[in-house]
Structure 1
Amino acid sequence: MVLAWYMDDSTTDQRLPHMSPGALVSMETVAALGVNHWKVNFESYETDGEFRKLREDEGYTYMDVIEISPKKLPSYDEKIKMFYEEHLHDDDEIRLIIGGTGYFDVRDKADRWIRIECSQGDMISLPTGIYHRFTTDSKNYVKAVRLFKGNPVWTPINRSEETDSHRARQNYIESFSLVGCT
């Protein structure tokens, strides 16, 4: 089951939960930000009819698998720092976790971090233009299926004054009634 919570202000190890006391967030609150979640049979996702239908319905035509760990990902330390930089994308980010546990952090309407814990069988979709970041938990391992519409694009657009006026960000703000939020 996916859990979400408001993060504390600690700057210690990003891989720790960083849960503020009493700060659980409902998945309805997360969904209001445009973040969707599904439970998928991670052991048979390649032949699962519901997973295939979801891919077809949403137009996800490209799929690959990434293993994020010191042993599997070249330049792991560099990459994990890059994934944790606050950024947005020109496309949705959709991941199915098939091994390990990771955290997707997203900004709420008040610009506070909400941490979403995803593990085996959790599929999450972050909408185009949402500020977010990612990290593994303290076990340093996540294996995920990445889905894309058309050719894969992995280009993060790191948050800055310029990204607040980026087309993808402005569309996100308008789509999810965040006018007045940056």
Structure 2
Amino acid sequence: MACAETLKGKLGMEAWYIQKSDEDQRLPHHCNPKQYVSLDKLRELGILYWHLNPQDYENDEELRKIRENRGYNYMDLLDLCPEKVENYEQKLKNFFTEHIHADEEIRYCLQGSGYFDVRDKNDRWIRIWIKEGDMIVLPAGIYHRFTLDTTNYIKLMRLFIGEPVWTCYNRPQEEHPARKQYVDNLSRIEGQGMTVQAH
């Protein structure tokens, strides 16, 4: 099974609570002491995670199965770095503005690394550090943002169901249907004592 059991460990993917800071958004911003977050905690927020083989993504049977099972029929590749993106610093600031989407956000890191920040049930930021081989799915309606880390490079595969819609809805969006559905799902899962599984 490609699913990781822990985020901090052999697969290298880590997640942690961050502290508010005006320093460079590309820094880790750990709390003191550090507060790591488990994969189970992320599952409770509806976040799915796999660790795959980025060296052979075109022939990866596990990736093919995930795409088939979840209906991800659209795919493209995105290089994010100062050399390949016009107005890089401004675009990075835009990605880092807190927002939701009406659909899932699926990202598979093929090279490099970066941070997805998501809000937990108490509105605290959790930083998820994705590296080569990490694939995550953020549910529709979750407040989140993205930034590169200090390496300033990531190559991502973007997946989507149907024709892609990249529209961001900046916070606040409490009345947006996707947000309301997400909050409702969280309440139901919490009430049943269940966690969301990737498989």
Please state which band the TM-score falls in when normalised by the shorter chain: over 0.9
Give, in whole Å, the separation in 2 of the partners of 1:154 and 1:109: 25
What is the deviation of 1:27? 1.0
On the 8 A contact 1:109/1:178 being kept in 2, the answer is: no
On the 8 A contact 1:104/1:116 being kept in 2, the answer is: yes
**Structure 1 residue matching 2:57: 3-state secondary structure:** coil
Match of 1:159 in 2: 171
Give, in whole Å, the separation in 2 of the partners of 1:28 and 1:19: 20
What is the deviation of 1:10? 1.3
One-letter code of the match for 1:81? Answer: K
Give, in whole Å, the separation in 2 of the partners of 1:150 and 1:157: 20
From 21, 38, 60, the equivalent of 2:50 is 38
What is the deviation of 1:114? 0.2
From 24, 28, 33, the equivalent of 2:36 is 24
Give, in whole Å, the separation in 2 of the partners of 1:117 and 1:125: 13
What is the deviation of 1:178? 7.8
Give, in whole Å, the separation in 2 of the partners of 1:74 and 1:146: 19
- What are the ranges of 5 or more consecutive residues in structure 1 without an aligned counterpart? none
Matches within 5 A, 1:31-110: 31-110=43-122
Match of 2:146 in 1: 134
Match of 2:9 in 1: none
One-letter code of the match for 2:177? Answer: R
* TM-score normalised over the length of structure 2: 0.87
In the alignment, does 2:27 pair up with 1:12?
A: no
Give, in whole Å, the separation in 2 of the partners of 1:153 and 1:76: 21
**Structure 1 residue matching 2:59: 3-state secondary structure:** coil
One-letter code of the match for 1:5? Answer: W
Give, in whole Å, the separation in 2 of the partners of 1:91 and 1:46: 25
Give, in whole Å, the separation in 2 of the partners of 1:178 and 1:135: 31
Match of 2:156 in 1: 144
What is the deviation of 1:126? 0.1
What is the deviation of 1:2? 1.3
What is the deviation of 1:118? 0.3
One-letter code of the match for 2:115? Answer: Y
From 96, 107, 123, the equivalent of 2:135 is 123
* TM-score normalised over the length of structure 1: 0.95
Report the structure, 1 or 2, having the larger strand content.
1
Q: Deviations over 1:107-137 (max 9, x none)?
A: 0000000000000000010000000000000
Percent of aligned pairs sharing the same letter: 51
In the alignment, does 2:17 pair up with 1:3?
A: no
Count the aligned residue pairs: 177
Match of 1:111 in 2: 123
Q: Any runs of at least 4 consecutive aligned residues in structure 1 with deviations exceeding 3 A, and if so which?
A: none
In the alignment, does 2:179 pair up with 1:169?
A: yes
Q: Deviations over 1:27-64 (max 9, x none)?
A: 11011000111001001111101100100100000000
- What are the ranges of 5 or more consecutive residues in structure 2 without an aligned counterpart? 1-11, 190-199
What is the deviation of 1:22? 2.7
One-letter code of the match for 1:51? Answer: L
Q: Deviations over 1:58-83 (max 9, x none)?
A: 00000000011011112211211110
